[in-house]
Amino acid sequence: MLTALDSFRTTLGEFASRFSMRAERPVGHTGRTQVLVTGAGGTIGRILTGALSDEYAVHGLDAKAGPGVQWARDMAKLRRAEGVFEGMDAVIDLAADASVSASWKSVRQNNIPATLNAFEAARKAGVRRVIFASSNHVVGMYERDEPYASVVAGAYDGLDPVALHRLGADVAIRPDGPYGVGKAFGEAAARYYAEMYGLSVICLRIGTVNAANRPTNTRQFATLLTHRDLVHLVRCCLAAPESVRFGVFYGVSANTWRFWDIDDARETIGYRPQDDAERWRS
Ligand SMILES: NC(=O)c1ccc[n+]([C@@H]2O[C@H](COP(=O)([O-])OP(=O)(O)OC[C@H]3O[C@@H](n4cnc5c(N)ncnc54)[C@H](O)[C@@H]3O)[C@@H](O)[C@H]2O)c1
């Protein structure tokens, strides 16, 4: 007869195996951890789908067909997209109008529904972890204040980067436009899905990831996230223990002039960026 203790052990075992992100399990055709990338056809999506395929079975979804996109689906339409989430262990949710100057209409009609649908589809499909591409623009208005205004303008006189007060992920949100408001909505929805439904969600307030993989203006000496550090950061998120139920971390390289705090990312998920944008300073 199954005792109460046996039943407790069984439940614990199921829980442990469900949340061990690296656990081998017979899912999909390869038996590897199944990772869905939404927005797979974009800049970050292409970097991640290429780099993560060594360790994970990576599947790409995007509104537009193209290389690395297995499913052409609009994330703003839940019924069209949700079936793709079945059998996935983790989701990297990138699908959005990624323009900082995205209009309210685009954020209302595309970004917010696409984000919400990613959480809802992940919940329904029993996905273990969602990594949500948030943005530094959730806190963009701090850049109008000193000393950050001077840093992004490259007016470093009188500033000591070591003494710079870095913004933690726990500062009050100060979105700098519709795009940032949409990402703030995503972080709020992430927390709700984590606390209400037990979905593990890590939100990354990404700095600047560009095709050039180097600073292309003065601000980016502070905000750059190199491709190498991006891939490492996402690997950290995928491998983080199940005890990480919800987190918000900045995605920035170890830039001398960065003004976002990454100590919590180092402590919680082991993020150790290797690059500093200063190497491109001429
Ligand atoms: N690149 C950066 O510096 C940066 C910084 C902060 C946050 N982010 C966020 O990271 C994510 C990826 O950024 P990116 O630079 O690769 O952008 P990108 O524009 O290159 O790629 C976004 C992709 O999402 C797809 N997409 C948009 N709406 C969709 C929908 N409704 N359904 C399915 N696919 C959809 C687009 O077709 C595109 O391929 C975005 O959410 C963006 O807001 C990027």
Atom of ligand 1 nearest to the CA of 134: 7
Neighbour-count burial of 32, counting CB atoms closer than 10 A to its CB (0-12 exposed, 13-18 middle, 19+ buried): middle
Residue of 206, 217, 225, 234 to test ligand 1 pocket, by largest number of atoms within 8 Å of CB: 206
Query: In degrees to the nearest 10, what's the CA dihedral of 175, 179, 184, 190?
Result: -160
* Residue 208 near ligand 1, beta carbon < 6 Å: yes
Residue 55 per-residue DSSP state: T
Interatomic CA distance for residues 79 and 169, integer angstroms: 33
pTM beyond 0.85, yes or no:
yes
Say how many Å lie between the CA of residue 94 and the centre of ligand 1: 5
Amino acid sitting at position 253: S
Interatomic CA distance for residues 6 and 233, integer angstroms: 38
* Residue 215 near ligand 1, beta carbon < 6 Å: no
Assign domain 25-280 to a CATH class.
alpha beta
169, two tokens: 């992920």
Say how many Å lie between the CA of residue 97 and the centre of ligand 1: 6
Say how many Å lie between the CA of residue 90 and the centre of ligand 1: 18
Q: Going by C-beta distance under 8 Å and a sequence separation of 6 or more, which residues neighbour residue 217?
A: none
The residue contributing the CA closest to ligand 1 atom 28 is 96
Atom of ligand 1 nearest to the CA of 137: 6
Residue 255 per-residue DSSP state: -
Say how many Å lie between the CA of residue 43 and the centre of ligand 1: 7
Q: Assess whether the previous peptide bond of 147 is cis (omega < 30° from 0).
A: yes
Catalytic residue among 142, 148, 179, 250: 179
pLDDT in tens, the chain (282 residues): 334 444 433 333 333 333 444 433 333 345 799 999 999 999 999 999 999 999 999 999 999 999 999 999 999 999 999 999 999 999 999 999 999 999 999 999 999 999 999 999 999 999 999 999 999 999 999 999 999 999 999 999 999 999 999 999 999 999 999 999 999 999 999 999 999 999 999 999 999 999 999 999 999 999 999 999 999 999 999 999 999 999 999 999 999 999 999 999 999 999 999 999 999 998
* Residue 45 near ligand 1, beta carbon < 6 Å: yes
| Residues 190/154, Cβ–Cβ less than 8 Å | no
pLDDT value at position 1?
35
179 is catalytic: yes
Interatomic CA distance for residues 115 and 132, integer angstroms: 8
Interatomic CA distance for residues 119 and 93, integer angstroms: 9
pLDDT value at position 64?
98
Domain ranges of the chain: 25-280
Atom of ligand 1 nearest to the CA of 113: 31
Q: How many residues does the chain have?
A: 282
* Residue 139 near ligand 1, beta carbon < 6 Å: no
Phi-psi domain of 270 (left: phi exceeds 0; alpha: psi -120 through 50; beta: other): left
| Residues 224/216, Cβ–Cβ less than 8 Å | no
